[in-house]
Amino acid sequence: MVSCKPSPRFLSTTLLRFAVFVTVCKGDSDPTDGFTAVSLDESNFKLQQPYNLDPSERYSFENGIRKLWVYSNDEPFKQDSDTKPRTEIRMTGYDYSDGVWQFEGHGYVPSGTTGVSIMQIFGADNQATSIMLRVYI
């Protein structure tokens, strides 16, 4: 299997295409036109929470709503890791390195929270992240 990582030029071109798409697609257009929904089940969601805590202490899933939280004094997701504390869900099961994908979801960041990473896509050349959406309130 060949691994594809987008180059900075690819990302710039993609952002330009997105800007053109947004400019051209006005009116009643549905942004999901042309995309096919894929099914997800629990096997597609891999939870990472502070290693010393039970998942239920930083995650809940009720009535179709997933809630994740982390505190600045939490431990990292695995012992001996030099990363900051995190509670996150990694999406697995599909090859996102090829084709055009769209993610849709709703997010809520409580007032007073800062530095929250809502979404991150790995795979950029010379660094780990292609794109990241962070919230600072």
pTM, 2 dp: 0.65
Structural domain count, the chain: 1
pLDDT at 73: 94
Is the residue at 26 inside a domain?
yes
**Cα gap 12→35, rounded to integer Å:** 22
Backbone angles phi, psi at 91, to 5 degrees: -85, 130
Is the residue at 85 inside a domain?
yes
**Residue matched to tokens 């939490």:** 74
| pLDDT tens digit sequence for 26-74 | 567 788 888 888 888 999 999 999 999 999 999 999 998 999 999 989 9
Is the residue at 2 inside a domain?
no
Show the domain range for 106: 8-136
| pLDDT tens digit sequence for 91-136 | 888 877 777 888 888 888 888 888 888 888 776 666 677 777 777 7
The dihedral of CA 18, 22, 24, 28: what is its sign? positive
Neighbours of 43 (CB within 10 A): 8
Is the residue at 3 inside a domain?
no
Q: Under DSSP, is residue 43 helix (H, G, I), strand (E, B) or coil?
A: helix
